[in-house]
Structure 1
Amino acid sequence: MSHEPPTPPANLPTEIVNTLNESDPEHLRDVATYAESLADHKEREARLEESADQEDVKERPDDLPDDVPSKATITIKEINDNRYYYWQWREGDQVKSKYKSPVDPDE
Structure 2
Amino acid sequence: MSYEPPTPPANLPTEIVNTLNDSTPEQLRDIATYAEALVEHKDREARLEESADQEEVEERPDDLPDDVPAKATITIKEINDNRYYYWQWRDGNRVKSKYKSPVNPAE
TM-score by length of 1: 0.52
* 1:29 corresponding residue in structure 2: 29
Higher helix share: 2
**Separation of aligned partners in 2, 1:47 and 1:56:** 16
Q: How many residues align?
A: 57
* 1:50 corresponding residue in structure 2: 50
The CA deviation at 1:40 is 0.6
**Separation of aligned partners in 2, 1:4 and 1:14:** 19
Q: Counterparts of 1:15-26 in structure 2 under 5 Å?
A: 15-26=15-26
Answer with 1 or 2: which has the greater Rg: 2
The CA deviation at 1:56 is 1.9
Task: List per-residue Cα deviations over 1:46-92 (Å, max 9, x = no partner).
Answer: 000000011226xxxxxxxxxxxxxxxxxxxxxxxxxxxxxxxxxxx
Letter in 2 for 1:37: A
Is 2:11 aligned against 1:8? no
Q: Percent identity?
A: 79
Give structure 2 stretches of 5+ with no counterpart: 60-107
Name the SS of the counterpart of 2:5 in structure 1: coil
Task: List per-residue Cα deviations over 1:81-104 (Å, max 9, x = no partner).
Answer: xxxxxxxxxxxxxxxxxxxxxxxx
The CA deviation at 1:9 is 0.3
* RMSD, matched Cα: 0.9
TM-score by length of 2: 0.52
Letter in 1 for 2:34: Y
**Separation of aligned partners in 2, 1:56 and 1:4:** 54
**Separation of aligned partners in 1, 2:44 and 2:13:** 24
**Separation of aligned partners in 2, 1:21 and 1:52:** 40
